[in-house]
Amino acid sequence: RSAHQQFSRPPRGDTIGRNRLAAFGSERYDAALYLKRFLAHYARVLSLVPCCQLLVIDVTAGDGWERLGPFLGLSRKTDRAMPRINPGIDGGADLARAKAEADELFRRGDVDGDGFLTFQELETIIRTL
71/64 Cα distance (integer angstroms): 11
119/109 Cα distance (integer angstroms): 11
**Cβ atoms < 10 Å from Cβ of 106:** 15
pLDDT attached to residue 104: 83
pLDDT attached to residue 11: 62
pLDDT attached to residue 99: 73
108/106 Cα distance (integer angstroms): 5
The tens place of each residue's pLDDT in the chain, 129 residues long, gives 666 666 666 666 667 777 777 877 777 777 788 888 888 888 999 899 888 889 988 877 888 888 888 888 877 677 777 766 555 555 566 667 777 777 888 788 888 877 777 777 777 777 776
